[in-house]
Amino acid sequence: MTFAFRTTLLALSLSAATALSGPALAQEQPGTDGAETLDTAPLSDIEVYRELNLFGEIFDRIREEYVEPPNERELIRAAIKGMLASLDPHSGYLDPLDYEDVRQDTQGTFGGLGIEVTMEEGVIKVVAPIDDSPADNAGMLANDYIVALDGDPVLGLSLDEAVERMRGEIGSSIELTVIREGETEPLTFTLDRDIIALRVVRHFVERDVGVMRLSRFSEQAYAGIEKAVRDIVDQEGDKLKGLILDLRNNPGGLVDQAVFVADAFLDQGNVLSTRGRVVAENERFDARPDDLDKLLKEIPLIVLVNGGSASASEIVAGALQDQARATVVGTRSFGKGSVQSVIGLGRGNGAMRLTTSRYYTPSGRSIQAAGIHPDIEIRQDVPEIFKGRDEILGEAALEGQIGGGTEDEATTGSSVYVPSDRSLDTQLNFALDLLNGEATDPAFPPDPNAL
């Protein structure tokens, strides 16, 4: 299973020396001379095993002499985490719970009730039930307030804690106590958990333009885009003036889904290639003709990106930009040009996420630490409260990033702000104006003397 997505890791590091205060607590130990130097040259097999013996010696000394009996399993897991975290920001160890979270996130499914929720005044507010889910079938509605779970008050729980309580084993039941406007008494719903597909694509039509917002590249990404496209075309027909693919703040996901989504708008040519140390990691992915790209061939396309568009998002934006299929609008993307493989370590042992290759756009660009630069740069009108906090440098700012890109690394920040009110969304409204012939590239304003 191969992934291309952005993740921030927090790792503990071991210091080379420990400062002790108080009277003469330090003891000189055999075998230390205080004058060791770090040799970065590759090790021979014999030297590798010598270093592993050193690790074993330290592990044994901790087990025997640490002030309290240590948890050996935690010691070993900490060493594994430190080893992987030392490689680059995207390699790391996933314990069994983290591994399951990643699997659910990339599969786009989980055992749950099928409601999108938020926290409001200490209780859970239903944003919307997911179509044909247990919550939808039971009659739950948007703006319902969940005040108790199995009789236990929600007040005092965080949103994450409440969501975790509502998720669970498929087929198991939970009782929700709900307050609904217009009802004098609380309502009670007993729901059986089922497989829930996360809704990763939302779409709407405005001014005869179809807008598709893709939030992540899970296994549901291409299916969601295909459904959105067909719904928009069926609704608009010949009135359709163009499409907008909104990838802003999309952190990435599965490489194959990025290829499928790009292929939806292309009928030929390269989408991306990957190159690593191992021959098996060197792959080329090309677009192929299908019914969807025939349907969309003559329809103009704009892709929206910003500083939070990473990895799989950049694969799609880069492919459509290099193939001149889409106009990329917004601000520079995050700049994650590497691919991670998630390798299971056996039952109960979690998994390791390992950076195994860099990827390249059709023109041969590696955007590692550089990002995708939009064809038309449009900045948001950022409210005063967010100014100075709405920009990130991206991959270029991550300690230990692998470098090796073909473009200049980013040195300035890129905005991640997107207003929830569409009327205030400068980037989206510019794209709508452009597809309606009411805007031009601000870098090339029309000549006032032109006829």
| Same domain membership, residue 209 and residue 142 | no
252 sits in which H/E element = strand 252-254
Q: Is 86 a catalytic residue?
A: no
| Same domain membership, residue 240 and residue 218 | yes
Q: Residue 268: its pLDDT value, please?
A: 94
Q: What is the DSSP string of 268-321?
A: SSEEEEEE-SSGGG-EEEE----HHHHHHTTS-EEEEE-TT--THHHHHHHHHH
Q: Is 336 a catalytic residue?
A: yes
pLDDT digits (tens, 9 = 90+) for 237-265: 999 999 999 999 999 999 999 999 999 99
| Same domain membership, residue 283 and residue 173 | no
Q: For residue 213, is it within any domain?
A: yes
- CATH code: domain of residue 165: 2.30.42.10
Domain termination residue (choose one: 197, 232, 263): 197
Using CA atoms, how far residue 139 sits from 124, 168, 189, in Å, is 17, 20, 9
In 3-state terms, what secondary structure has residue 83?
A: helix
Q: For residue 268, is it within any domain?
A: yes
Q: Is 433 a catalytic residue?
A: no
Q: For residue 9, is it within any domain?
A: no
- Provide φ and ψ at 243, rounded to 5°: -125, 145
Domain residue limits at 335: 201-435
| Same domain membership, residue 215 and residue 158 | no
Distance CA 105, CA 341 (A): 15
Q: For residue 425, is it within any domain?
A: yes
Q: Is the pLDDT of residue 13 over 60?
A: no
pLDDT digits (tens, 9 = 90+) for 27-58: 334 444 444 445 667 888 898 889 899 999 99
Q: Which of 91, 215, 218, 311 does the annotation list as catalytic?
A: 311
Q: What is the DSSP string of 371-425?
A: -PPPSEE------GGGTTTSEE-GGGGSTT-----SSPPP-S-EE----SSGGG-
Domain termination residue (choose one: 197, 230, 257): 197
**Confidence bin at 112 (pLDDT 50/70/90):** confident
| Same domain membership, residue 293 and residue 146 | no
- Show the DSSP H helices in 66-209 as ranges: 72-85, 96-107, 134-138, 159-166
Tokens found for residue 102: 């990643």
Distance CA 51, CA 57 (A): 10
Q: For residue 167, is it within any domain?
A: yes
Q: For residue 330, is it within any domain?
A: yes
Q: Which of 88, 322, 390, 425 does the annotation list as catalytic?
A: 322
Q: For residue 7, is it within any domain?
A: no
| Same domain membership, residue 160 and residue 189 | yes
| Same domain membership, residue 255 and residue 394 | yes
| Same domain membership, residue 368 and residue 235 | yes
Domain termination residue (choose one: 197, 216, 237): 197
Tokens found for residue 446: 């029309």
- CATH code: domain of residue 290: 3.90.226.10
- Provide φ and ψ at 232, rounded to 5°: -65, -45
Which DSSP state fits 217?
Answer: B
pLDDT digits (tens, 9 = 90+) for 338-356: 999 999 998 888 999 999 9
Q: Is the pLDDT of residue 21 over 50?
A: no
Provide the mean pLDDT of the chain.
86
Q: Residue 314: its pLDDT value, please?
A: 98
- What's the number of domains the chain is made of? 2
| Same domain membership, residue 381 and residue 296 | yes
Its pTM stands at: 0.78
Distance CA 228, CA 142 (A): 22
Q: Which of 144, 215, 256, 336 does the annotation list as catalytic?
A: 336
